[in-house]
A = this chain, B = another copy of it.
């Protein structure tokens, strides 16, 4: 999917919501555990109930890997289901990968070719040659960690490097990399006040924003400081939507939570376009 197609979907759906699929067998409705593939069945119901309210799904790869081969099979079924049934949805493999060049190439192959995701999250610590193998893919997107939503973001990301925070250095340096037009960034919703400065460095890039909901970030604050002319934000909510109920009504309740967010977003999109 191209960036322009993503922007079109935001306009059509009046939504810039990404739904995070962090499926924990201890948290899903217990009646699903009797099924052959509870993770996929849970995802499928959530997707069917929310696909018109969001523009993206973000499977969190850790939650699939934790269940070994069964988890990986559920991941493959989930991404295939989205791609086959709702091809206008933007898909994000939240994997936070990054390694030396020949190894990053294999990760890129895993997520872009084998699983056919539109995008993958990557970590910047290993620098240019760890990210460029992802950027080399046409019409695929690489979403690099800049300033994350967790407390540990203050351990290294906000340290001053030549008088400038490390995450700003990451933004500025990565802009110079080959095919950097395919780069998006992760900035946590819990750090809304930082968006003004971030937008000065990357005015046009899409930003994936985790941390609304369970982690405490505010949608309106993020929009106030982080939006650009194309909205330029993908706001992710995982637990707040998918675990809205532990009963048989979980998909319905997930839709209700997603609808609340979409309605708030619709007001914002209407003002913009």
Contacts and interface: CB of A to CB of B under 8 A. Distances in A.
Interface of A: 22, 24, 60, 62-63, 65-69, 71-73, 76, 94, 96-104, 106-107, 109-110, 114-115, 123-131, 145, 148-157, 159-162, 166, 169-170, 173, 210, 215
A148 B115 CA distance: 28
B72 A76 contact: no
Contact of A98 (B73, B96, B99, B101): B96
Contact of A66 (B60, B63, B69, B109): B109
A128 B155 contact: yes
B152 A22 contact: no
A151 B123 contact: no
Contacts of A162: 159-160
B103 A62 contact: yes
B156 A125 contact: yes
14 contacts: A24-B106, A60-B99, A62-B97, A62-B99, A68-B76, A68-B114, A69-B69, A71-B110, A72-B72, A100-B152, A126-B157, A127-B152, A159-B161, A159-B169
Nearest to A24: B106
Given A106-B63, A123-B123, A156-B127, A100 B69 contact: no
A69 B62 contact: no
Nearest to A210: B100
B114 A67 contact: yes
A123 B96 contact: yes
A63 B131 CA distance: 16
A135 to B, nearest CB: 13
A148 B104 CA distance: 14
A266 B159 CA distance: 43
- Which of A107, A124, A151, A155 has the most C-beta atoms of chain B within 10 angstroms of its own C-beta? A155
A27 B67 CA distance: 30
Contacts of A123: 96, 98, 123, 125-126
Contacts of A60: 99, 103, 106
Contacts of A154: 127
A9 to B, nearest CB: 26
A23 to B, nearest CB: 10
B127 A150 contact: yes
Contacts of A173: 155-156
